[in-house]
C-alpha cells in the first residue's frame, strides 16, 4: 500500500508564501543591471578599482548605497557600478582625471533619467524645479554615492528640510510658532520634482490643508480655534491674505498669521 501526499489548503498557502519569499530575496540580493550606460567614444570599461584610487571620498561609503546595486552585464571587469552612471573610464584614467573625459551627471539629468524616467515627466510639469533648463542639478538635493541617495536620510544630521532651506531661506525661520508640517519635512506639502499645482503643492487650494486638519462631525463643517470654517475653504485657499498666510511659521500668531 502506497501513501500519496495530499495537498491541503494550508500546505498550498504556506508553499505559495515560501515561493514568493524566495523570489523577493533573490530580487533584493542580486545586483540590478543597467543595460545602457552613458556612451563615451573610444573609452573602455576599467572597473571600480581604478575609480577608488582617486575618488576615495565618493567610493569609501558607496558600497552601502542604493546605487551600488547598479552594475554592467560584463562580469569580467568585476564591479563596474561607477561606470554604470559615469560611462567607461579608460580615457579618464589615461588623462589623469581631466574634465570632459568622463560623464558628470551634475551637468545634465539625462544620466539619471535612464533609470528615473518618470522624473523627466515631473520636471516637465507647469510647476517644477529648474532641472530641465539646467539651472540646477539632481545632485543639489541628492547624494548618489551614499545611503538612499536622498540628503537627510539614514544617520545624516542634515535633515530634509535643511536641504530645501539652503535655497528657500525665507522658509527656514526660526519661528516662534512653527507649522507642525515643517517637522515632517517639506515633501509633506510639496512635490520637489514637479506638480500641476502652484508652488509644487501635492494638492490644490484647501484640499491640501484638509488632509491634516480634519472636518467636524457633520458634513461640510470645519472647526478651528472653536470657530466654524465651513464657508471659508470655498472662497479659496486657507493661506489667503488675512488668514493663515504664514504657512511655514509665524513670530506673532499661533494661527500662523503675519
pLDDT digits (tens, 9 = 90+) for 43-71: 998 888 889 899 988 888 888 888 888 77
Integer angstrom CA distances of residue 65 from 12, 140, 143, 215, 237: 37, 17, 10, 42, 41
Dist. CA 190–CA 99, nearest whole Å = 36
Tell me the backbone φ, ψ of residue 123, rounded to 5 degrees: -70, -10
The C-alpha atoms of residue 67 and residue 144 are separated, in whole angstroms, by 7
Grid coordinates representing 108 are 545634465
Report the C-alpha gap between 39 and 44 in whole angstroms.
Answer: 10
Collapsed DSSP state (helix, strand, coil) of residue 256 = coil
Over residues 125-145, the pLDDT tens digits come to 999 999 998 899 998 889 888
DSSP structural state of residue 139: G
Output the pLDDT for position 236.
Answer: 67
Per-residue pLDDT band at 184 (split at 50, 70, 90): confident
Domain ranges in the chain? Answer: 32-140, 173-250
Is residue 20 over pLDDT 70?
A: no
User: What average pLDDT does the structure give for the chain?
Assistant: 79
List, for residues 72-129, the tens digit of each pLDDT value. 766 556 567 788 889 899 999 999 999 889 999 888 898 899 889 899 999 999 999 9
- pLDDT band per the 50, 70, 90 thresholds, residue 157: low
| Higher pLDDT pick, 29 / 76 | 76
* pLDDT over 70 percentage in the chain: 71
pLDDT at 70: 78
Q: Is the pLDDT of residue 37 over 90?
A: no
Q: Compute and round to an integer the Cα radius of gyration of the chain.
A: 25
| Across 18-22, 68-72, 192-196, 238-242, least confident range | 18-22
| Model confidence at 250: pLDDT above 90 | yes
What is the band of 228 on the pLDDT scale with cuts at 50, 70, 90?
A: low
Task: Show Cβ contacts of residue 222 under 8 Å, excluding neighbours closer than 6 positions.
Answer: 210, 213, 215, 216, 228, 229, 230, 232, 233
The residues, ordered by sequence, that sit 6+ positions from 242 with a Cβ below 8 Å of its Cβ are 257
Opening angle at CA 248, ends 242 and 254, nearest 5 = 60
How many alpha carbons lie under 13 Å from residue 13 in its C-beta half-sphere?
Answer: 3
Instruction: Give residue 222's pLDDT band: very low, low, confident or very high (50, 70, 90).
Output: low
User: Please, are residues 129 and 194 in contact by the beta-carbon 8 Å criterion?
Assistant: yes
Rounded Cα distance between 51 and 144, Å, is: 15
What pLDDT is attached to residue 4? 53
In the three-class reduction of DSSP (H, G, I as helix; E, B as strand; rest coil), residue 21 is classed as: helix
Q: Is 82 helix (H, G, I), strand (E, B) or coil?
A: helix
C-alpha grid cell for residue 73? 552585464
All 3 cell numbers of residue 42?
A: 573610444
* Whether residue 8 has pLDDT greater than 70: no
Amino acid at each position: 500500500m502506497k501513501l500519496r501526499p495530499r495537498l491541503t489548503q494550508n500546505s498550498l498557502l504556506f508553499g505559495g508564501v515560501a515561493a514568493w519569499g524566495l523570489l523577493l530575496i533573490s530580487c533584493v540580493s542580486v545586483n540590478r543591471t543597467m543595460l545602457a550606460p552613458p556612451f563615451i567614444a573610444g573609452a573602455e570599461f576599467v572597473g571600480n578599482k581604478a575609480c577608488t584610487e582617486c575618488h576615495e571620498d565618493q567610493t569609501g561609503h558607496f558600497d552601502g548605497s542604493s546605487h551600488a546595486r547598479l552594475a554592467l552585464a560584463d562580469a569580467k571587469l568585476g564591479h563596474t557600478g561607477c561606470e554604470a552612471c559615469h560611462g567607461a573610464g579608460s580615457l579618464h584614467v589615461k588623462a589623469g582625471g581631466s574634465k570632459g573625459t568622463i560623464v558628470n551627471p551634475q551637468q545634465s539629468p539625462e544620466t539619471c533619467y535612464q533609470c528615473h524616467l518618470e522624473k523627466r515627466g515631473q520636471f516637465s510639469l507647469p510647476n517644477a524645479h529648474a532641472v530641465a533648463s539646467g539651472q540646477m542639478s539632481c545632485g543639489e538635493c541628492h547624494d548618489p554615492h551614499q545611503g538612499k541617495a536622498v540628503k537627510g536620510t539614514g544617520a545624516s544630521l542634515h535633515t530634509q528640510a535643511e536641504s530645501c532651506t539652503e535655497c528657500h531661506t525665507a522658509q527656514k525661520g526660526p519661528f516662534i510658532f512653527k507649522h507642525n508640517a515643517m517637522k515632517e519635512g517639506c515633501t509633506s506639502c510639496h512635490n520637489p520634482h514637479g506638480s500641476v499645482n502652484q508652488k509644487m503643492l501635492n494638492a490644490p487650494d484647501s484640499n491640501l490643508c484638509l488632509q491634516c486638519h480634519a472636518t467636524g462631525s457633520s458634513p461640510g463643517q470645519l472647526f478651528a480655534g472653536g470657530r466654524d470654517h465651513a464657508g471659508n475653504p470655498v472662497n479659496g485657499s486657507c493661506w489667503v491674505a488675512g488668514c493663515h498666510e504664514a504657512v511655514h511659521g509665524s513670530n506673532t500668531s499661533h494661527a500662523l498669521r503675519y
